[in-house]
């Protein structure tokens, strides 16, 4: 990638002090999906694994040809986790320790918004995903996920409340759903949340990582390792696939997930997409269908952190869904969004995913058959763990990082 990077390489200190330094990405000649080498050049952890279909991993690279820039709006955030746009163009976001903030498009950060329930702020726990009611302009309702502490353990919970008129507090905060069982651990909470077109909430959970809890991803009697669909009152949404099945939770929408930190609806097809962490390798991008089993831990393209195989070392099995794309080695995919703006037409309907260990934003080009046909890495020179990315009301992309930055990515 060709970058006018001198602003960062010669004036890194200015970035820290002003929070307004920018860099540009200038494309060369127009390129089409399939014309460039894959962006991943490292050796896979599992070189003997065979993809289920061509293009399931290490697809050909693509390169943005429209000049664009990434601008650091602020570095004053503390472990931001989830971000979404407000109707007036400002951004509201969560900080992992338990605070909400509002940030203007010029980078001014509000004081902490009070009134939220206590969070279990250990390990991967804390205040997580956030979304606004589709009628927020009139009802000011906010919905969020968090790891809830109790004497029995902790779990992924969903809460709602009303943003006060002065924007200083959340009024009437109420927990509406808990993904039981509780567990005394600090890993794999999932935690993304968004509304579907029917006005229901889609929530993701993790299977809490440990070998003791891992099998619950396959259990229809557990809230762990699932995509969940509920009403704004926390009840199972009408039409859920397991509503009439005995010994199955009616709120479940899909299962067999490891740790889902990305959810987004395709702007054209309306399909729900998710991403989830693999262990060492095997990070997945899935198109979610109601009632389907996505395989963890029975099948995976990853290996244990120890280097051992997972279970019986199976990658494909009848009745278990294949990922539409996977990464090996891991990039640690987190928050994601489809691009629907007009600033950069070649990005239209592309998927943008923040990555943690990968330290870039992955741009994926999808074809009409839901196959990934191109991959690009944006902001890879920034050495940031990109936790979430959303599209603003102005058509730009906004991304937050674990290190506390908020980026605006837009046409130069």
Q: What angle do CA 361, 67, 372 make, to 5 degrees?
A: 40
| Distance set, CA 200 to CA 26, 163, 234, 293, 357 (Å) | 41, 20, 9, 21, 32
- Phi then psi for residue 359, to 5 deg, are 55, 50
Alpha-carbon gap, residue 339 to 347, rounded angstroms: 6
Alpha-carbon gap, residue 285 to 334, rounded angstroms: 11
Single out the catalytic residue among 120, 188, 257, 360. 188
| Distance set, CA 135 to CA 92, 132, 138 (Å) | 16, 8, 6
Q: Is 188 a catalytic residue?
A: yes
Residues 6+ apart with CB under 8 A from 107: 19, 20, 73, 74, 406
Other beta carbons less than 10 A from residue 364's beta carbon: 22
How would DSSP label each residue in 199-249? Answer: S-EEEE-B--SSTTTGGGGG-TT--SSEEEEE-TTSPBPTT-TTTT-TTS-
Helix, strand, or coil here: 7?
helix
Nearest to 168 by CA among 86, 92, 112, 103: 112
Alpha-carbon gap, residue 162 to 79, rounded angstroms: 23
Residues 6+ apart with CB under 8 A from 400: 77, 80, 81, 83, 93, 354, 386, 387, 388, 389, 406, 407
Residues 6+ apart with CB under 8 A from 323: 56, 284, 285, 286, 294, 301
Helix, strand, or coil here: 401?
strand
Enzyme catalytic residues = 188
């Amino acid at each position: 990638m060709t970058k006018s990077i001198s602003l960062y390489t010669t004036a890194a200190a200015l970035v820290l002090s002003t929070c307004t330094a920018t860099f540009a990405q200038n494309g060369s000649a127009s390129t089409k999906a399939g014309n460039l080498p894959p962006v991943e050049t490292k050796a896979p952890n599992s070189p003997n694994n065979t993809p289920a279909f061509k293009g399931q991993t290490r697809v050909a690279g693509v390169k943005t040809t429209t000049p664009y820039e990434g601008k650091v709006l602020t570095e004053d955030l503390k472990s931001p986790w989830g971000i979404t746009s407000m109707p007036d163009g400002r951004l509201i976001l969560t900080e992992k320790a338990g605070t909400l903030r509002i940030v203007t498009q010029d980078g001014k950060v509000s004081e902490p918004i009070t009134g939220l329930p206590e969070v279990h702020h250990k390990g991967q726990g804390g205040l997580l995903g956030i979304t606004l009611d589709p009628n927020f302009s009139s009802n000011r309702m906010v919905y969020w996920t968090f790891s809830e502490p109790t004497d029995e353990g902790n779990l992924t919970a969903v809460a709602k409340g009303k943003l006060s008129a002065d924007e200083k507090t959340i009024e009437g905060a109420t927990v509406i759903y808990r993904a039981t069982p509780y567990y005394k651990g600090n890993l794999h909470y999932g935690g993304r949340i968004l509304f579907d077109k029917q006005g229901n909430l889609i929530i993701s959970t993790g299977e809490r990582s440990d070998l003791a809890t891992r099998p619950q991803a396959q259990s229809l009697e557990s809230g762990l390792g699932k995509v969940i669909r509920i009403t704004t009152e926390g009840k199972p949404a009408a039409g859920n696939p397991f509503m009439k099945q005995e010994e199955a939770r009616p709120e479940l929408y899909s299962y067999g997930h490891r740790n889902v930190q990305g959810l987004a609806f395709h702007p054209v097809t309306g399909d729900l997409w998710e991403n989830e962490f693999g262990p060492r390798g095997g990070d997945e991008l899935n198109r979610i269908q109601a009632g389907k089993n996505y395989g963890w831990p029975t099948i995976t393209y990853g290996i244990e952190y120890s280097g051992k195989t997972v279970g019986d070392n199976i990658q494909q099995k009848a009745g278990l869904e294949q990922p539409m794309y996977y990464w090996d080695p891991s990039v640690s995919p987190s928050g994601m969004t489809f691009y629907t703006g007009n600033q950069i037409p070649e990005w239209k309907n592309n998927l943008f995913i923040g990555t943690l260990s990968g330290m870039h934003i992955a741009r994926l080009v999808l074809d009409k058959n839901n196959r990934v046909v191109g991959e690009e890495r944006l902001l890879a020179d920034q050495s940031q763990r990109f936790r979430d990315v959303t599209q603003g009301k102005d058509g730009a992309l906004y991304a937050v990082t674990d290190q506390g930055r908020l980026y605006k990515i837009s046409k130069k």
